[in-house]
Structure 1
Amino acid sequence: MAVRPLRYDGDLVLLQVAPAIESFDEGLAALVLDLFETMYAAPGRGLAAPQVGVSRRLFVVDTDWKEGDPAPMIFINPEIVAQSSEQMVGEEGCLSIPEKTFEVARPTWVELAWQDLDGAPLQGRFEAVQARCICHELDHLDGKLINQTGKLI
């Protein structure tokens, strides 16, 4: 495990659509461990592979660790399959745009399909802060930053 250097706004890897992961091997498992270590050290609630310079469809999230027990989640090749039409507007920060926050509208819930570390398909529904964080990290996989979608506050 290692803390990897973060990539910042202006780095081209953050503007690219990340390709799907096809190989579920030890290298992928090591990358996931590095993402968690980097995220917790930053300290963030989510981190996408492009934010450490790896253009692959992978992100990790832990929306609970700052207030309680860690609840790490891994999302490989994630895709929103359904979402609420109702939006919630809230403040977001980004590890790739330090010391700035943005007001961003997100769905109040999302239903996501993804794969685990073994490539097994999973599906789940996420609400509130988890939905916000998942949408934020998914934007990274699609080459979008919150300064493109949100309003600086």
Structure 2
Amino acid sequence: MPKRSIPGSSGLVRAMSLLGDPVLHAPCEPVTDFGPALASLVDDMFATMYAAEGVGLAANQVGVPLRVFVYDCPDDEDVRHIGHLVNPRLVDAGGVAVRGPEGCLSLPGVEAGTPRYDHAVVEGVTMHGDPVRVEGTGFFARCLQHECDHLEGGIYLDHVKGLRRNRALRAVRRAPWARGRALPGDL
């Protein structure tokens, strides 16, 4: 039986795009080239996600405006889900809306109670072009919705309202990484 490599084990850790970087705030382009560069990008994204101790990472978070994300995320039953999606589409998000803590590798140290549905279905393809459908519940559903938002040029704070949003925005403005950065207008 062939030995499977660990995702990201041969990847390079890339610089993280931070809130305010234009690549985070614009919709990503569909992947059309399924060659070695895509495989390298996916491996680098896994390496970067693991180095940052995240559970998901979209390509625009490493400065690449393509519709790709990776994940290594548990659901609420502690089942670990590992994979990647290319050209993903969120085809269903439903069930109960749950407000839970959410953060982002592109907004380090900032967290806010964010409403998300407890069930999500995403369809796309693998880096080889094979169709894939991923279903998630609980925390994994939150992860899938979060990463799909990134590919549309959104961030989790777009879903946060009222006092929670004001607190998160204050935390962003005080964060060392935000000093001197051009932040989106509503921040």
Query: Quick check: TM above 0.5?
Result: yes
- Give the corresponding residue for 2:5: none
Describe the SS at the equivalent of 1:72: strand
- Give the corresponding residue for 1:135: 145
1:9 and 1:73 mapped to 2: Cα distance? 25
- Give the corresponding residue for 2:12: 2
1:36 and 1:2 mapped to 2: Cα distance? 9
Which runs of structure 2 are paired with 1:60-75 in the superposition (5 Å)? 60-64=70-74, 71-75=81-85
Describe the SS at the equivalent of 1:63: strand
- CA deviation map 1:108-128 (0-9, x unaligned): 101211101111111132111
Query: How many corresponding residue pairs?
Result: 150
- Give the corresponding residue for 1:27: 37
TM superposition score normalised by structure 2: 0.76
- Give the corresponding residue for 2:6: none
- Write the letter of the residue equivalent to 1:15: H
Change (3 A) 1:71 1:86: closer
- Give the corresponding residue for 1:15: 25
TM superposition score normalised by structure 1: 0.92
The structure whose Rg is larger is: 2
**How much has 1:70 moved relative to structure 2?**
6.5
Match status 1:52 vs 2:32: no
Describe the SS at the equivalent of 2:73: coil
**Identical aligned pairs, as a percentage?**
35
Greater fraction of residues in strand: 1
86, 96, 120: which one pairs with 2:130? Answer: 120
Match status 1:95 vs 2:105: yes
The farther-off stretch of 23-32 and 111-120 is 111-120
